[in-house]
Amino acid sequence: MLVLLLCVAVRVINALTTKTFSQPDEYWQSLEPAHWYYYGYGYLTWEWKHHIRSWIHPSIFILLYKCVDSLNLSETRWLILAPRLLQSVFAACADWATFVFAKRLFGVRPAKFALLASLTNPFAWYTMTRTFSNSMEASFAAFTCAIWPWPSQFDRSYRSIYLTVFLILIATCIRPTAILLWIMPGLLFIAQATTTFGILQTTKVLVVCLVIAIAVIASDAALNYYITKQLMLPIYQFYNFNVSDSLSVFYGASPIHYYISQGIPLLFMGYLPAFLYALIIHRKSALVWTLVFVTATYSLISHKEHRFILSLLPIGNCLIGSAYAKLNNSSIRFWLIAVALTVNLPAAYFFNMVHQRGVIDVSDLVREIKPESVGFLMPCHSTPWQSYFHSPHTDAWFLTCEPPIGYSLEDRSTYRDEADKFYDNTELFVKTQITKSGTNGTHAWPEYLVFFEQMLPLMQQYCNTTLHYEEHRRFFNTYFHDDHRRSGDIIVWRHTI
């Protein structure tokens, strides 16, 4: 219990000290649809219109918004804090589950090191208390790891298979790729169960697991039907979009070595040496082969992001704990941990308190002043939306980036979304797509314009002299960014006439 309380305290601090923006999905794929459903306004991205995502994840926040609203706190800061604090509880439980997981497999001492690795991992600090579906997926991965009948624990824990299957299916409804983590352990379980109990008994177990899977998927379909009034299977739609049509590459493609050269190093940062050492000493274990299989499978998918492998953290931290415990030289262990913390703690501070802070600062400004109208001339989804602004009377617009759904392969190669068109030819876009009246599919010139500093020369050339805008506020955002369109400060212009 003390370990769990420690984890909760650390993750609550983590949540309350997070002042930066990470990626759009933190808001647009969880809080924004929940806000849209409960409060009746907001923005549904194309994923929800095409039923590619399940409502099971936003439903958690729909219930939370109901609680916030029932306490008359919707107009307060609690609308923003409550989801993150709720997510911090899931993150804390995941840390605790990692401790339990390592204790079951390796003992108390390795479990303590695993807990240290979990609580001081900068990537976990950066992501786990944010409302990403990946964060929830990683939490469920930790819960499942803690009770899964691993080969070394099979005799004592095989009965937990039904609960683990239930947790895996919930995670898979949230993110269909969550199932990848359990293919290798699942095959090992079937092999060991067949050897131990025989084919007939193993078949009975698998039939029960199948019934659980059908029940969970049917319940997910029922929930989605209740909200959308359409009978859809998001898992199928997700597969169709990402695999059959390969439309995910519209949002970027990375080389096959991406997770090896970038993903894994960023996932473990200062603990990378201990992680690599653990791979060597446990190279024949189910844990290592599970990591290898999942990483290899994700590497075959063209569209890659660091957070896609977040669910590897529980196994990785467990292995790190074992690696530290196996070091006979306590002096070497001390210095390895000291160096790891020297790397990890500043990184956690920088990415949670500094990097992309301006995005949140400008969102706070919009929430505070509740302008009549505001336009964001930025890459799509560069800021939170109504789940943060909570301003129903503000006419807000942004540059969209709908993928080429329904386009032929030939047309996809030349397809340009609205944001692309703006950056391809800013002058033409400003003259033809932003008008005084905002009619015929155009945007209306707003009271406030928000854009990145990178666009300032062009904005000064095309807008402020003839359209009477002047700088109102400027927010530091970041020292660097992998997307040049998001470089520099965030600038807010206000219409002066």
DSSP 18-34: --S---THHHHTTHHHH
3-state secondary structure of 441: coil
Show the 3-state SS of 112-160: HHHHHHHHCCHHHHHHCCCCCHHHHHHHHHHHHHHHCCCHHHHHHHHHH
In Å, what is the CA distance from 153 to each residue of 98, 146, 318?
16, 11, 15
Which amino acid, 41?
Y
CA distance 150 to 162: 14
The dihedral through the CA atoms of 112, 6, 170, 258 has a sign that is negative
- Cross-strand pairs, 490: 452, 475
Q: Centre a 10 Å sphere on the Cβ of residue 467 and count the other Cβ atoms it contains.
A: 17
CA-based R_g, the chain, Å: 24
Number of residues in the chain: 497
C-alpha–C-alpha distance, residues 100 and 106, integer Å: 10
Side chain identity at residue 354, one-letter code? V
- Whole-structure pTM value: 0.94
Longest distance between any two alpha carbons in the chain, whole Å: 81
Distance CA 274, CA 264 (A): 13
Instruction: Using CB atoms within 10 Å of the CB of residue 294, give its burial: 0 to 12 exposed, 13 to 18 middle, 19+ buried.
Output: buried
Q: List, for residues 195-210, the tens digit of each pLDDT value.
A: 988 999 999 999 999 9
β-sheet bridge partners, residue 448: 374, 494
| DSSP β-bridge partners for residue 374 | 396, 448
Environment class of residue 295 by beta-carbon count within 10 Å: exposed (0-12), middle (13-18) or buried (19+)? middle
User: In terms of DSSP bridges, do strands 490-495 and 469-475 run parallel, antiparallel, or are they unpaired?
Assistant: antiparallel
CA distance 266 to 104: 27
Domain map (residue ranges) of the chain: 2-14+48-342, 357-495
Which residues of the chain fall below pLDDT 50?
none
**Confidence (pLDDT) at 242:** 72
Contact 3, 115 (CB under 8 A): yes
Measured CA to CA in angstroms, residue 350 lies from 13, 19, 126 at distances of 15, 10, 10
| 373-377 and 448-452 strand pairing | parallel
